[in-house]
Amino acid sequence: MNDDQLLRYSRHILVDELGIEAQQRFLDAHAIVVGAGGLGSPAAMYLAAAGIGKLTLVDADTVDLTNLQRQILHVTASIGRKKVESGRDAIARLNPEVIVEAVDERVSDAWLEAAVPHASVVLDCTDNFATRHAINRACVAHGVPLVSGAALRFDGQISTFDFRNPASPCYACIFPEDQPFEEVACSQMGVFAPTVGIIGAMQAAEALRIIAGIGESLTGRLMMLDSLRMEWTTMSIARQPDCPVCCGRG
């Protein structure tokens, strides 16, 4: 690290559990954030502020006026722009040292197969089950930790699936691919803006602690937030031996 980096990241370096060693791991890391909306905005901003070396931001949508109530990567002048381009510019203003790869497309199995093996961690900040399952399959196949978040109305949830741990469940262990779920978007039901901020920031915290190798991740736990009452519920989750996605792992 140079003198400017030592100063920029000094408040991390002062933390005993982090120090120079963890900060260097951040600088050397590559995080993929799928979704540059309500969850991806705070997640990407905190990862960039922390000094993640490379950040791949994936989203095929454009910025709409209705996004600005919660998607803090974007501003009024961003309306009509691609979210990944708006996000890349916002991150450059925050921390120009971060290499941002802006991927303007919906993730496919082929893209995930090519990209995920090169990532230190993947953050699922999407809003549909098909994409979530595709990301999960790729992370299971390549043993890359996955941090998954979701939010709707006043409800949020977050969990981590760390496939370096043989006991870790995968996303499909909790939400099987063949189980029908009603797909409800915030465009129909709405979302309380700080809820996505809380969950997205927690996703960044999970990713950073995984990269640093400190603390205890949410592997094996699903945390659910009721932000109307500001109550958390934590549920233990276990790997399912008959899960068609991860049963052959380990």
Name the residue ranges covered by the structural domains of the chain: 3-236
Task: Output the pLDDT for position 181.
Answer: 60
Percent helix / strand / coil, the chain, rounded to 5: 40, 20, 40
State residue 228 phi and psi, 5-degree precision.
Answer: -75, -35
Tracing tokens 């309306």 back to the chain, one arrives at: 79
Alpha-carbon dihedral angle through residues 121, 125, 128, 129, given to the nearest 10 degrees: 30
User: Which of 202, 238, 201, 233 is closest to 217 using CA atoms?
Assistant: 202
- Regions of the chain with pLDDT less than 50: none
- pLDDT for position 180: 63
Question: Which one of 3.40.50.300, 3.40.50.720, 2.60.40.1180, 1.10.645.10 gives the CATH number of domain 3-236?
Answer: 3.40.50.720
The whole-chain average pLDDT of the chain stands at: 94
Residue 186, pLDDT score? 58
pTM exceeding 0.75: yes
Task: Please state, in angstroms and rounded to a whole number, the distance separating the CA atoms of residues 93 and 207.
Answer: 22
Neighbours of 46 (CB within 10 A): 19
8 Å CB contact between 23 and 49:
no
Helical axes 193-212 vs 40-50, angle rounded to 10°: 40
Pairing of strands 121-124, 155-161: unpaired
